[in-house]
A and B are shown apart, each in its own frame.
Chain A
Amino acid sequence: MMASAAARAATFPGGVRNAAVIVALVALIVVLALGFRRDPHDIRSAAVGKPAPAFDLAALDATGRVSLEQHRGKVVVVNFFASWCVPCREEHPALVRAWERYRTSDVVLIGVLYQDSVDDGREFVRRLGTTWPTAVDDDGRTALGFGVFGIPETFFIGPDGVIEGRHIGPIDEATLVRGIDALRRSP
């Protein structure tokens, strides 16, 4: 007993032990403080700052294809949505107002139906009055390419095809206008 106590004392003197406990506690507090300060809606996306993944999807209204490439040189806002998604319905008026504001300019809004049936998607856009191009991501590959977590999710793509911003959750008109105007002003 005396020998083990002596060994412990020789290996980890009381001061060192106390210092180690304090350092561990401080590290824990710092980690928790940093973790709790983060906004859960502000998930860092690896896709932001990189070229947007190309897509060429069937139009929801069956009138042809909707691709990102055909809008190169414009500011493109890509909005992932589904008919079963309540927040998608909530944000829809903001998208309508933004589209009415910019539709005659160099801005394109593209809706991408995600994890939904085509029939339900068509009913959704008919009932809510969606007039911007809308495409069907039937196998989810486009959403996976963009790094979508959950819908609704909106991406802001600059004229050079690079994703410059992303919004998780229902978006409002002010956020849309701010994101679009920032890209229209950028050289």
Chain B
Amino acid sequence: MTLARSAILVALLAIAAALVLAAWPTPAGPEERVERIVADLRCPVCQGLSVADSPSESARQMRDLVAQRVAEGRTDAEIRDEFRRSYGDWVFLSPAVDGPGVLMWLAPLALLGLGAALAWSRARAPAAVAAEPEPGAVEALRGRVAREEMADL
């Protein structure tokens, strides 16, 4: 295995490990759950701001509702469903994992695969081999260079 191929393999493994670690579920407290949910909720009266980032009254009311539902013992999915019933998938900043939204999740993976295939094919490409000169071509070239040098003098 060449150095380049080893480097590609190590990079791919590192990316895979980072994805697994990032997606690994960790137990969260109530406040952390509220922050996580409102960070993905779109503020309805803002331009591209999450409820977590918006200082608007609407965002504050949505945050209060999330906090109350968490305190009541509702699951994250139940709380998200409540907002989905009113606002649809629009209310989530992350695209849905079902329906057309799944394309948004698959596109980066497809691009990653495409890049990996490209890198793999380039790593496997044969090394550059200079063609052997035709018999007499070198002598002809030397003669031409010598004539041009004489002409310059």
A residues near B (Cβ < 8 Å) are: 1-4, 6-8, 10-12, 43-47, 50, 53, 115, 139-141, 143-150
Closest to A4 in B: B122
CA distance in complex: A148, B44 (Å): 8
Distance of B32 from chain A, by nearest CB (Å): 22
Residues B122 and A149 in contact, CB atoms below 8 Å apart: no
Residues B65 and A10 in contact, CB atoms below 8 Å apart: no
Given A6-B125, A11-B118, A141-B65, 9 more pairs with CB closer than 8 A: A4-B122, A4-B125, A8-B122, A10-B125, A11-B122, A46-B84, A46-B89, A141-B61, A148-B44
Q: Is the interface of B mostly helix, strand, loop or mixed?
A: helix
In the assembled complex, which residues on chain A have CB atoms less than 8 Å from the CB atom of B86?
Answer: 46-47, 53, 144-147
Chain B CB within 10 A, most for which of A10, A53, A139, A140:
A140
**Number of chain B residues whose Cβ lies closer than 8 Å to a Cβ of chain A:** 24
Give how many A-B residue pairs fall within 8 Å (CB-CB): 63
Identify A139's interface contact among B44, B61, B90, CB under 8 A: B61
Distance of A30 from chain B, by nearest CB (Å): 14
CA distance in complex: A150, B57 (Å): 11
In the assembled complex, which residues on chain B have CB atoms less than 8 Å from the CB atom of A148?
Answer: 44
B:62-113 near A, CB below 8 Å = 62, 64-65, 83-90
In the assembled complex, which residues on chain A have CB atoms less than 8 Å from the CB atom of B61?
Answer: 139-141, 143-144
CA distance in complex: A43, B87 (Å): 10
In the assembled complex, which residues on chain B have CB atoms less than 8 Å from the CB atom of A46?
Answer: 84-90
B residues near A (Cβ < 8 Å) are: 44-45, 57-58, 61-62, 64-65, 83-90, 117-118, 121-122, 125-128
Identify B45's interface contact among A1, A10, A149, CB under 8 A: A149
Residues B88 and A50 in contact, CB atoms below 8 Å apart: no
Task: List 19 contacting pairs A-B, 8 Å CB cutoff, sorted by A.
Answer: A3-B127, A7-B125, A44-B88, A46-B85, A46-B86, A46-B87, A46-B88, A47-B86, A53-B86, A115-B58, A141-B61, A141-B65, A143-B61, A144-B86, A145-B86, A147-B86, A147-B87, A147-B88, A148-B44
